[in-house]
């Protein structure tokens, strides 16, 4: 005799429900851990296991603020002309002048040619709050270390030079260096971003960015996208220069007088901007014949650059680009617009984010930023465009 049996309900596993990790989960977890953890105690690190290692003392990392003291007298004398104890007098005078006790006093590596003076390096745990000098020395100045990524002198990439076996490149034109960079007359083109500047340009968008104190190289997709934008900017700039070359030969004196008038104008653009078009629209559009059925969004390989030159009505130079929500490309567009001295920058698909209830996007010191919305909290409410207007004092 057949009997009906009831099957237990099927319970799906959590991974079968299509649950996605919420955004900023790591930040929320970190905040919760910090709130529930005990207070941080400033003290020696590792004191509990130092005896096991046979350590006599455990030292923690300290940040020093170092000052350079130039033209400090090598010998000090008292009122009677007798030579005084320089070390004790120097330490006491520094504490009086700077308002704090130094943690380290040492002679500089490079000394002046004058045998009567010396150069000292004085370090403190806190920055000096007032102007100070040591006896008859020059005013002490703080030493600010500029940490820059290492750039190879051979291939111009960002790594150490001694281990490089690549083909040498010219710093000016970025081509194979069969000539000296100082004698190169070709147009400037960066070997890294392909933009219209030399390879050692300090604001090159292809340079590694410092994140949390560590230099991070760009990803391959970010680098490819930057090279596409840079190459198109270089091509457009040189096309305009070649187009105006015959006019410069035929109307040399007239062009010189016109340029002198432009220099006298307060809004006169730079020579690089005078060769640039009135408007550059950089739009990424898919190639119909090569695009797969499901293309990857923002992929630079499957996009092409379309430049459109439009006349301007009020003498404003306009730069327009689609940056694809990629932070380095957004920075690259603003840097290129500033180098060409554009007045208005129109960016589609800008990079935006939220951090600590603050709406963030990319900015530039030469431009005021304008957003079509005051705030956003998701991808559906974020701005699709961002407008930048040149600051008058920066022009």
Q: What is the pLDDT of residues 34-89, one digit of tens each?
A: 666 655 544 554 556 666 666 666 566 678 889 988 887 877 777 777 877 778 88
- Within a domain: 376: yes
Q: Which residue's structure tokens are 């957004």?
A: 330
Q: What domain range includes position 122?
A: 65-142
Same domain, 229 and 341: yes
- Within a domain: 176: no
Same domain, 237 and 354: yes
Q: First and final CA of the chain: distance in angstroms?
A: 95
**Whole-angstrom Cα distance, residue 330 to residue 229?**
11
- Within a domain: 200: no
Same domain, 133 and 244: no
- 3-state helix vs strand vs coil in the chain, percent to 5: 25, 20, 55
**What pLDDT was estimated at residue 8?**
56
Structural domain ending residue among the three candidates 119, 142, 165: 142
> How far does Cα 301 stand from its chain's mean position?
25
**Whole-angstrom Cα distance, residue 196 to residue 55?**
56
What ranges make up the beta strands (E) of the chain?
65-73, 104-107, 117-124, 141-142, 209-211, 214-216, 279-286, 303-306, 318-322, 344-348, 352-355, 358-361, 367-370, 385-390
Instruction: Map residue 214 onto helix, strand or coil.
Output: strand
Structural domain ending residue among the three candidates 82, 110, 142: 142
Same domain, 339 and 238: yes
Residues in the chain with pLDDT values less than 70 = 1-24, 34-61, 146-147, 177, 212-213, 240-315, 394-395
**Whole-angstrom Cα distance, residue 334 to residue 341?**
10
Same domain, 117 and 227: no
- Within a domain: 73: yes
Same domain, 240 and 377: yes
Structural domain ending residue among the three candidates 112, 142, 172: 142
Same domain, 234 and 333: yes
Are 331 and 323 spatial neighbours (Cβ–Cβ below 8 Å)?
Answer: no
**What pLDDT was estimated at residue 275?**
42
Number of domains making up the chain = 2
DSSP type of residue 77: B
Rg (Cα) of the chain, in Å, rounded?
31
**What pLDDT was estimated at residue 27?**
73
- Within a domain: 274: yes
- Within a domain: 161: no
- Within a domain: 306: yes
Are 303 and 284 spatial neighbours (Cβ–Cβ below 8 Å)?
Answer: yes
Tokens of 59: 């030292």
Same domain, 225 and 119: no
Are 170 and 181 spatial neighbours (Cβ–Cβ below 8 Å)?
Answer: yes
Rounded to 5°, the CA angle 32-17-376 comes to 50
**What pLDDT was estimated at residue 271?**
43
Q: Which residue's structure tokens are 């709406």?
A: 359
**What pLDDT was estimated at residue 386?**
92
- Within a domain: 4: no
Same domain, 133 and 232: no
**What pLDDT was estimated at residue 283?**
42
Same domain, 128 and 228: no
**What pLDDT was estimated at residue 308?**
42
Q: 54 vs 44, 45, 48, 49, 190, CA distance in Å?
A: 16, 15, 12, 9, 54
Same domain, 281 and 372: yes
Q: 206-244 pLDDT, tens per residue?
A: 888 877 667 888 888 888 999 999 999 898 888 866 666
**What pLDDT was estimated at residue 346?**
92
**Whole-angstrom Cα distance, residue 211 to residue 207?**
12
Same domain, 233 and 94: no
**Whole-angstrom Cα distance, residue 122 to residue 77?**
22
């Amino acid at each position: 005799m057949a009997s009906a049996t009831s099957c237990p309900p099927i319970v799906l596993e959590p991974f079968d429900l299509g649950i996605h990790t919420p955004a900023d989960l790591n930040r929320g977890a970190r905040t919760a851990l910090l709130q529930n953890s005990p207070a941080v105690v400033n003290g020696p690190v590792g004191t509990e296991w130092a005896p096991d290692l046979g350590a006599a003392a455990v030292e923690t990392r300290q940040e020093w603020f170092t000052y350079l003291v130039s033209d400090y007298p090598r010998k000090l004398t008292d009122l009677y002309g007798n030579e005084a104890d320089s070390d004790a007098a120097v330490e006491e005078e520094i504490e009086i002048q700077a308002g704090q006790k130094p943690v380290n006093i040492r002679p500089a590596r490079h000394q002046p040619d004058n045998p009567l003076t010396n150069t000292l390096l004085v370090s403190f745990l806190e920055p000096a709050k007032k102007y100070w000098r040591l006896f008859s020395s020059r005013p002490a100045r703080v030493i600010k270390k500029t940490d820059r990524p290492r750039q190879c002198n051979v291939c111009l990439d960002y790594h150490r030079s001694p281990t490089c076996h690549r083909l040498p490149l010219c710093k000016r034109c970025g081509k194979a260096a069969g000539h000296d960079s100082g004698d190169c007359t070709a147009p400037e083109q960066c070997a890294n971003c392909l933009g219209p500047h030399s390879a050692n340009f300090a604001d090159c968008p292809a340079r590694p960015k410092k994140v949390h104190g560590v230099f991070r190289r760009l990803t391959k997709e970010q680098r490819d996208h930057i090279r596409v934008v840079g190459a198109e900017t270089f091509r457009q700039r040189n096309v305009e220069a070649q187009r105006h070359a015959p006019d410069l030969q035929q109307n040399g004196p007239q062009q010189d007088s016109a340029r002198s008038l432009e220099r006298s104008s307060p809004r006169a653009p730079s020579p690089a901007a005078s060769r640039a078009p009135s408007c550059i629209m950089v739009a990424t559009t898919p190639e119909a014949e090569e695009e797969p059925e499901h293309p990857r969004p923002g992929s630079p390989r499957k996009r092409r650059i379309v430049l459109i030159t439009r006349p301007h009505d009020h003498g404003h130079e306009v730069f327009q680009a689609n940056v694809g929500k990629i932070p380095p490309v957004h920075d690259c567009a603003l840097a290129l617009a500033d180098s060409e001295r554009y007045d208005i920058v129109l960016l589609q698909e800008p990079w935006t984010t939220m951090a600590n209830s603050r709406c963030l996007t990319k900015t530039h010191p030469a431009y005021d930023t304008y957003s079509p919305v005051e705030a956003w909290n998701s991808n559906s409410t974020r701005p699709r465009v961002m407008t930048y207007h040149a600051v008058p004092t920066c022009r």
